[in-house]
């Protein structure tokens, strides 16, 4: 059993402004119970979106490992964007494989060229991911990567894995060239797909233990199913407290992990939260941060700015040991013969206390350690928190209509069809200061 | 002359909610004129903080290049945190040197070990930066790095550069071991120090043209001195519009550069903005993003969430050319024989238009290209914007009192002295869900 704890003591109204009272949470828990029925019924029926919470059970690690086993590679280059990249990066990094997992999740020509020039292409697996198989950035990059491999004398058809839906150009290409292919699971939006092939292929290619990640997800799923109350299940505790605090004015969700290997987790969280809950004039704005680094940057604002933020501090209970050598230099001596992890944990606790002393609400999430099970559990519980928050807010958690507008506009601008949205671009109001 | 433009057409009240009227801006411009007098007088007197805006004139590129010339290195490892690291990373990345500039700006044992294991230590320059010379994270990492070099049989005293103030443990160490040393300039807070040795040493070691960066800064400074109105100088336009929009409810500042090499710029901005303006219950919360990647993540929220964000889109007018190969695959053909940069620019314009169509305020910043002068100009003008915004808000832009509390608490926890703040840590209110 992989445990995870959520501590919301510093988000109670006795400690923080805004804060929520125990009484309000007890009343809210009745709504959590009803939302739990909706969520578990959706899971049982495999309903769109809710089906995401079944992935730890449904994903077949052996099938993923088997499918990629024909590709011998030291590096993986993921070609995908948004939900097709962030989860995979999060998993690889948490498993310590981040140095060998690279992504093309943008269409910046300078970065694309830099990356393709720096990789040993004959030792790199190309991991192309798009649910629809029509994502413009992903297809454009895929064409550029294919050409780069050809120019380097590498047969791209022998090094490419495709993860996509049942139809679309990518599925067609996979069949035409006989590429190993995996399915984007049905009923699962991209940002909820990390515990499927979408999130696990790169780690599998690099020899990571993806079954362990699924184990962590399963522990979260069991805790969810056993729960039904915000006072029992940490995922619901986090989702309900976030909702209650947003209602009371905490419209920013600052995610502050104290571990470099969880930096992509903060990015993944930002997508999950913004795209799921940012609708109907609601939704917290995610602010991604990193402890202790951002203490020297964002903490001034978090402590003395508006009381409009819920800061979430995340840490593992156990870290690798790196000792700080002893020193005789005055003013440095107190650091000698401690460990870097002790210093980091002291900073974690100091930051948390400094926010509390300023009545700024914050929540602590702890996991046993940053490994496969810990990561799987964290990802699952935060997904469950997001689904619960969406139920409580009354928004359509699993859609993203506002993303589509600009897709049509950019497609129109590139001559990929007639779209009224493209005309709006030409009508921009300008008010320019400076010489062009 | 390196130009930069700020276009606030989409932040006017005719286009956006919240938005500012032309009339309100004209009235505000009278206050901008008075603030300009304060700013230029502070610059002339070298007053604390305002002195930062003189750095393009005062920084001696030859002295920096000369000081580091004795160190022959393929890589630079910067040991510093916050203002001692972010600016340097921003400059190196913009100059295309980011792959060889590494940072230890955290005390995560896993990351420290990973980085030290992966670097060729005998070909790496160690760049230690701390104004006070007492920053715990920096000193701890410096001790660990010293030991790692010794264990690898490398004489760290021959590969280490120190940038620090006139006193403190680092200055003592530099003198004791005869290390090349540069000064953190007087009167300049860390987050405003990018256009000094603090921001330029790594690029100088790696052969970058740091004089070109200063050239860009000088162009910004001349434009500031020639200006005095938000309608003339782009830096003031950005600062004044940000202030006006925050007053009207845009309490989040989303920074969205459309260039991977400006990703650290968004981090640098986040520090500058949060630490300078986040005080007295005021200050926008910076949200760092990256185009086009975050269109698939944050755009849903930016378009359909609360109207509490000012989104700033930044792009170069000129990009390197990477063609997208032609293809016969149905549904991908429209991408063929365009360039990645065209696709990225189409997405930039589409995102901007999609925000405008949803009445969400946004500002466009454009620079000629991402190179030394363009970067120097961008950094300078955004610093000037921040200084102006601080004047208009009436906050103490150049101090960061809230960061100090947690420094004392963590020092107390580690046994580095008696601090009342450390006791507050023990008194934390806990409300834990989940098994520990």
Pairs across A and B, CB distance < 8 A: 500
> Which of B300, B312, B414 is best to mutate for the A interface (most A CBs within 10 A)?
B300
CB neighbours of B182 closer than 8 A, spacing ≥ 6?
Answer: B63, B64, B67, B161, B162, B163, B197, B201
> Which of A13, A360, A377, A434 is best to mutate for the B interface (most B CBs within 10 A)?
A434
Count CB atoms within 10 A of the CB of residue B63.
12
CA distance B347 to B357: 15
Residue A24 in domain: yes
With CA atoms as reference, the chain B residue closest to A142 would be B324
Residue B375 in domain: yes
Query: Which residues of chain A make contact with B190, given a CB cutoff of 8 A?
Result: 296
Specify the residue for token string 């007890």: A26
- Which domain covers residue A154, as residue numbers? 54-212
User: Are residues B159 and B295 located together in one domain of the fold?
Assistant: no
Annotated catalytic, A296? yes
With CA atoms as reference, the chain B residue closest to A132 would be B331
Annotated catalytic, A396? no
User: Are residues B35 and B153 located together in one domain of the fold?
Assistant: no
Alpha carbon of B211: minimum distance to chain A alpha carbons (Å): 23
User: Are residues A336 and A364 located together in one domain of the fold?
Assistant: yes
With CA atoms as reference, the chain B residue closest to A282 would be B305
Nearest to B331 among A134, A297, A349 (CB): A134
Residue B67 in domain: no
Nearest to B9 among A133, A331, A430 (CB): A430
Smallest Cα–Cα separation from A101: which of A125, A66, A137, A81? A125
Nearest to B282 among A258, A306, A353 (CB): A306
Residue A49 in domain: no
Instruction: Confirm if B108 and A259 have CB atoms less than 8 A apart.
Output: yes
User: Are residues B112 and B162 located together in one domain of the fold?
Assistant: yes
User: Are residues A201 and A137 located together in one domain of the fold?
Assistant: yes
- Count of domains for chain B: 2
Residue A403 in domain: no
List the structure tokens of B75: 């890589």
pTM equals: 0.96
User: Are residues B189 and B227 located together in one domain of the fold?
Assistant: no
Residue A121 in domain: yes
With CA atoms as reference, the chain A residue closest to B135 would be A332
With CA atoms as reference, the chain A residue closest to B297 would be A271
Q: What's the CATH code of the domain at B37?
A: 3.40.50.10490
Residue at which a domain ends, from B157, B178, B205:
B205
Instruction: Confirm if B343 and A414 have CB atoms less than 8 A apart.
Output: yes
User: Are residues A377 and A362 located together in one domain of the fold?
Assistant: yes
Residue at which a domain ends, from A153, A187, A212:
A212
Query: Which residues of chain B make contact with A301, given a CB cutoff of 8 A?
Result: 274-275, 277-279, 283, 285-286
Q: What is the pLDDT of residue B330?
A: 74
List C-alpha distances in Å: A166 to A51, A171, A281, B95.
17, 7, 34, 43
From A15, A347, A407, A421, active-site residue: A407
User: Are residues B293 and B262 located together in one domain of the fold?
Assistant: yes
Instruction: Confirm if B145 and B79 have CB atoms less than 8 A apart.
Output: yes
Annotated catalytic, B175? no
Residue at which a domain ends, from B153, B181, B205:
B205
Angle of the A86-94 helix axis to the A263-277 helix axis, nearest 10: 150
List C-alpha distances in Å: B286 to A254, B250, B252, B259, B376.
10, 11, 6, 18, 21
User: Are residues A219 and A208 located together in one domain of the fold?
Assistant: no
Cross-chain residue pair A144–B324, CB shorter than 8 Å? yes
Residue B244 in domain: yes
Smallest Cα–Cα separation from A247: which of A393, A359, A369? A393
Alpha carbon of A290: minimum distance to chain B alpha carbons (Å): 9
From B176, B296, B328, B428, active-site residue: B296
Residue B436 in domain: no
| pLDDT, tens digit only, all 436 positions of chain B | 679 999 999 999 999 999 999 999 999 999 999 999 999 999 999 999 999 999 999 999 999 999 999 999 999 999 999 888 999 999 999 999 999 999 999 999 999 999 999 999 999 999 999 998 888 889 999 999 999 999 999 999 999 999 999 999 999 999 999 999 999 999 999 999 999 999 999 999 999 999 999 999 999 999 999 989 999 999 999 999 999 999 999 999 999 999 999 999 999 999 999 999 999 999 999 999 999 999 888 999 999 999 999 999 999 999 999 999 988 777 778 888 889 999 999 999 999 999 999 999 999 999 999 999 999 999 999 999 999 999 999 999 999 988 888 888 888 888 888 888 888 888 899 999 998 7
User: Are residues A200 and A219 located together in one domain of the fold?
Assistant: no
User: Are residues A246 and A184 located together in one domain of the fold?
Assistant: no
Q: What is the pLDDT of residue A418?
A: 86
User: Are residues A200 and A228 located together in one domain of the fold?
Assistant: no
Alpha carbon of B404: minimum distance to chain A alpha carbons (Å): 9
| pLDDT, tens digit only, all 436 positions of chain A | 679 999 999 999 999 999 999 999 999 999 999 999 999 999 999 999 999 999 999 999 999 999 999 999 999 999 999 888 999 999 999 999 999 999 999 999 999 999 999 999 999 999 999 998 888 889 999 999 999 999 999 999 999 999 999 999 899 999 999 999 999 999 999 999 999 999 999 999 999 999 999 999 999 999 999 989 999 999 999 999 999 999 999 999 999 999 999 999 999 999 999 999 999 999 999 999 999 999 888 999 999 999 999 999 999 999 999 999 988 777 778 888 889 999 999 999 999 999 999 999 999 999 999 999 999 999 999 999 999 999 999 999 999 988 888 888 888 888 888 888 888 888 899 999 998 7
From B137, B263, B275, B366, active-site residue: B275
Nearest to B350 among A285, A352, A425 (CB): A425
């Amino acid at each position: 059993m992989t445990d995870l704890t959520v501590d919301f003591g510093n988000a109670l109204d006795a400690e923080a402004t805004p804060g929520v009272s125990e009484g309000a949470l007890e009343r809210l828990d009745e709504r959590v119970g009803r939302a739990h029925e909706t969520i578990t019924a959706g899971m049982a029926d495999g309903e769109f979106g809710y089906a995401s919470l079944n992935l730890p059970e449904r994903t077949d690690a052996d099938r993923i490992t088997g499918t990629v086993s024909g590709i011998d590679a030291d590096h993986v280059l993921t070609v995908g964007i948004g939900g097709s990249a962030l989860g995979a990066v999060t998993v690889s990094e948490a498993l310590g494989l981040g140095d060998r997992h690279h992504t093309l999740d943008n269409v910046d020509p300078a970065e694309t060229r830099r990356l393709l020039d720096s990789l040993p292409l004959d030792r790199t697996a190309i991991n192309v991911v798009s649910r629809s198989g029509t994502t413009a950035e992903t297809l454009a990059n895929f064409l550029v990567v294919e050409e780069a491999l050809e120019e380097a004398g590498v047969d791209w058809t022998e090094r490419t894995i495709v993860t996509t839906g049942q139809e679309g150009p990518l599925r067609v290409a996979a069949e035409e060239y006989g590429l190993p292919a995996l399915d984007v699971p049905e009923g699962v939006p991209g940002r909820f797909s990390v515990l499927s092939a979408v999130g696990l292929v790169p780690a599998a290619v690099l020899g990571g233990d993806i079954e362990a990640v699924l184990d962590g997800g399963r522990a979260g799923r069991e805790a969810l199913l056993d729960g039904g109350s915000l006072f029992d299940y940490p995922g619901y505790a986090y989702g309900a407290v976030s909702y209650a605090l947003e209602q009371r004015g905490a419209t920013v969700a600052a995610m502050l992990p104290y571990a470099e290997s969880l930096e992509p987790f903060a990015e993944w969280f930002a997508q999950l939260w913004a795209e799921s809950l940012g609708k109907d004039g609601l939704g917290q704005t995610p602010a991604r941060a990193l402890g202790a680094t951002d203490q020297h940057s964002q903490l001034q604002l978090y402590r003395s700015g508006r009381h409009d933020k819920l800061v979430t501090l995340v840490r593992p209970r156990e870290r690798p040991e790196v000792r700080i050598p002893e020193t005789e230099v005055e003013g440095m001596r107190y650091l000698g013969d401690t460990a870097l992890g002790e210093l980091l944990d002291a900073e974690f606790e100091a930051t948390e206390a400094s926010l509390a002393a300023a009545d700024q609400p914050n929540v602590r999430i702890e996991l046993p350690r940053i490994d496969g099970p810990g990561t799987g559990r964290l990802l699952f519980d935060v997904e469950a928190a997001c689904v619960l928050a969406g139920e409580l807010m009354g928004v359509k958690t699993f859609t993203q209509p506002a993303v589509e507008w600009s897709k049509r506009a950019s497609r129109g601008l590139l001559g990929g069809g007639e779209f009224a949205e493209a005309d709006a671009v030409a009508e921009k109001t300008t008010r320019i200061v400076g010489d062009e």
